[in-house]
């Protein structure tokens, strides 16, 4: 039985993307990491968020980063599934 993602609207949208990944591209997606400058900025914003000290602009920025990281996590999960399917 080949691995599959849970059937959600987002997974249904992204499935064709993962189906066209080559092994090399899937591995590169799985290994993506945030750039050091971005990680530092995110850490500053996270700390300010935890302290309740974000400005309105920083809150928007932070929320956009969080949404982007969530989406990247979904892409990485799709790439992992593609790699698992390639092994079967």
Q: At what angle do helices 56-87 and 23-30 cross, to 10 degrees?
A: 140
Give the residue ranges of the chain where pLDDT is below 50: 1
Mean pLDDT of the chain: 90
Angle of helix 9-19 relative to helix 56-87, nearest 10 degrees, comes to: 60
3 state SS of 35:
coil
Q: What is the 3-state secondary structure of 2-24? A: CCCCCCCHHHHHHHHHHHCCCHH
Rounded to an integer, what distance in angstroms lies between the CA atom of residue 73 and that of residue 29?
A: 10
- Confidence at residue 1, expressed as pLDDT on a 0 to 100 scale: 40
pLDDT at residue 70 in the model: 92
Reference 5, options 88, 87, 86, 82; nearest CA is 82
pLDDT at site 49: 97
Please report the pLDDT score of residue 3 as a whole number. Answer: 61
Q: At a CB cut-off of 8 Å and minimum separation 6, what does 12 contact? A: none
């Amino acid at each position: 039985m080949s691995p599959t993602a849970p059937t959600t609207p987002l997974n249904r949208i992204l499935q064709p993307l993962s189906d066209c990944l080559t092994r090399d591209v899937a591995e590169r997606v799985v290994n993506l990491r945030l750039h050091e400058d971005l990680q530092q900025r995110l850490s500053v914003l996270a700390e300010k968020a935890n302290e309740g000290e974000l400005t309105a602009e920083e809150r928007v920025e932070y929320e956009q980063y969080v949404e982007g990281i969530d989406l990247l996590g979904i892409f990485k999960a799709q790439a992992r599934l593609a790699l698992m399917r390639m092994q079967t």
